[in-house]
Amino acid sequence: MKSNLGLKWSSVTALTLLTAAMNVFSATSNGAYVPTISVAKTTGTAGPYNPNWQPAMGDGLAQMMVTELGKLGNFRVLESVALEDLREERKLGESGEVAGSKAVTKGGFEAADYMLKTTITRFGAKKSSYGGGGVPVPVPFLGGSRSFSVDSSEHEVQIDWRVVDYQSREVVAQGRGVGKESGKGFHFGSWGGRGYSKSSEFMDSALGKATMKAIADISSQISGVKLTSSKRLLAQEERAEDVKNAKRAALNQLKQTPGEVLLVDGNDIVVSLGTANGFATGDKLVVYKTLKRTNKSGKEIVMNELYGEIELTAVGKAKSHARVKAGLKIEEGWTVADATVAVD
């Protein structure tokens, strides 16, 4: 089947977003976390590829990689090439053209765990003959305006790739995709500024087919990359754990204040501790019996002796009801506290 990159970018973007949504569903349905990945624009270090001369090529190859990654399943693919189009949709809500209840809101983007970076390191023929009857075009990396053609029978494309952890910048996987194809070359002058993705001549050429093979090779290699916990996810979990620990510490601090028995009504008692002191329904308190002794100097000494345990049944802000275990005879004025509090 012949590959065709003549699709409009909007169509490719829609397909990408649909694939990403399906990946998110598969990630949550089986309970396993599937890491997210974004695709950076392709750059080049080898001619005749030149991003200044043909800027659409970097976008075009990145779009192809987005499509290929979406077929895999070991990553959830995030749109990264058409971000401005996504922002334009959000602006419709911000400007009021879309009702606020229906608008795309800021802050809803999924964060990427990893980035796929691709670089063309070889793009052309092993044996080349330049010149011929092409229409002269500006070619910055050769200087001036000229036409040339690639007429070798064998063409080769090499694309280095690496998966980078966004949080740490660590390269966690890397490789090189290679594509070779024998056949006709193509005439660069015929591009005429139409853009890489819209050139059927390029896609039909040996060089175009070699490019597709290199991308397929990269996709095959990346399909074997199994990553679960990115540094971003680990950092997020650590922050969540820090918040949880801070809340726990603050709650324990609130519970350090002892209270007293305000009312005894059979097996139901009221104590002077509530939500303001960090307590909730079902929490248990220890009860201290108040003992009063007079020393030889005639001074009254008040002491607290551990007596038993009660459970809070209804908790208010400053007062709570508690249930008394059978056999305990608690009196008003006794001290109650959390088990972690040392009561003299």
Residue 297 neighbours by CB under 8 Å, 6+ apart = none
Written as six digits, the tokens of 336 are 């109650």
pTM above 0.75, yes or no: no
The letter for the amino acid at 245 is N
pLDDT band at 19 (very low <50, low <70, confident <90, very high): very low
Which residues of the chain form CATH 2.40.10.410? 256-337
pLDDT at site 127: 58
- Sign of the C-alpha dihedral computed for residues 48, 50, 53 and 54 taken in this order: positive
Mean model confidence pLDDT for the chain: 78
132: phi then psi, degrees, rounded to nearest 5: 125, -170
Reduced to 3 states, what is the DSSP secondary structure of residue 192?
A: coil
pLDDT tens digits along 244-269:
888 888 888 889 989 999 999 988 99
Written as six digits, the tokens of 320 are 């709570």
**In contact, 259 and 273? CB cutoff 8 Å:** yes
pLDDT at site 299: 92
Which residues does residue 138 pair with via DSSP β-bridges, in sequence order?
Answer: 145
pLDDT tens digits along 279-321:
999 999 999 998 888 988 989 888 888 999 999 999 999 999 9
pLDDT band at 149 (very low <50, low <70, confident <90, very high): low
**In contact, 287 and 270? CB cutoff 8 Å:** no
Rank 3-17, 159-173, 242-256 by mean pLDDT and report only the highest: 159-173
Q: Does domain 256-337 have CATH number 2.40.10.410?
A: yes
**In contact, 105 and 90? CB cutoff 8 Å:** yes
- The percentage of the chain sitting over the pLDDT mark of 90, rounded to a whole number, equals 31
pLDDT at site 266: 86
Distances (CA, A) of 317 to 20, 257, 261, 273: 47, 14, 16, 8
List alpha helices for 223-258, DSSP H. 231-254
pLDDT tens digits along 65-93:
888 988 998 999 998 888 888 888 888 88
**In contact, 124 and 156? CB cutoff 8 Å:** yes
